[in-house]
Amino acid sequence: MLVPIGQTTVTATTDRATVGEFTGDLVNGLLLLQITTLAPADMQSLAFGIVSFIDNDTGVRVLGDARYYPKAEPTVIALGYGDRASVDGVVIFEPRAFNLRWLEREGSGQYWSLAFEADTPAGVAEPAYTPSAFADGAIELEASAVLGTDGETYGQVNWYE
C-alpha cells in the first residue's frame, strides 16, 4: 500500500530538503520509496539527488543513502539493510551533481519538484506530518486521514502560506 510522505521543491542551491515524516512498518526490512519527478519534465541528466532517512530518536541516518536519478516515470528506491521491522523519522532529499544548464534556467525550469510515497505492508492509520512544500518553508501543508464513501481511509492535504 502506497502512503504519501510529502512533496518538495528544490533548486540547484538547495543543500537539504525535509520531505516529510514516516512512521511505520518496513517491507522485508527496507523502506521502499516511490519517487516521482513532478516538474520539470526534462530534468534527466541535469542532476541527481541523495535520499536518506533520519531516525527521530537518534538523529542519525539509519537506513543508509540511495541515489535518485530523475525520470519521466515514477521510480522505486530502497533504503535499509533488512535489519529493522519499523522506523520513525524523516525522509530527506539532497540535490547533487548540478549541471550548468540547470543553473542557467529561468522561471519554473530552475525548480525541481518531487513527490515521495512509501510502500508499506499495512499502511498507516493517519499521516502525521506537516512537511514544507518548498525547502525554504514558504508554503506548508497539513495532512489528515479522512474516511471515503467506499469505507477506505485516504489522506486529505491542505495547503497554506
User: For 92-133, what is each residue's pLDDT tens digit?
Assistant: 999 987 676 777 777 777 889 999 999 888 644 444 444 444
Decide if 150 is inside a domain: no
Decide if 80 is inside a domain: yes
d(CA 126, CA 157): 12
Decide if 142 is inside a domain: no
**Structural domain boundaries enclosing 14:** 2-124
Decide if 40 is inside a domain: yes
Decide if 149 is inside a domain: no
Decide if 131 is inside a domain: no
Provide the pLDDT for residue 146: 66
The continuous run of DSSP H or E covering 41 comes out as none
Longest dimension (CA), the chain: 50
Helices (H) and strands (E) counted in the chain, each on its own, are 1, 10
Provide the pLDDT for residue 91: 97
Regions in the chain scoring below 70 on pLDDT:
98, 100, 122-149, 154-161
CATH number for 110: 2.60.120.1380
Provide the pLDDT for residue 87: 94
Decide if 108 is inside a domain: yes
What cell was used for 140? 506548508
Report if pTM > 0.85. Answer: no
Decide if 153 is inside a domain: no
Number of domains observed in the structure of the chain: 1
d(CA 159, CA 91): 20
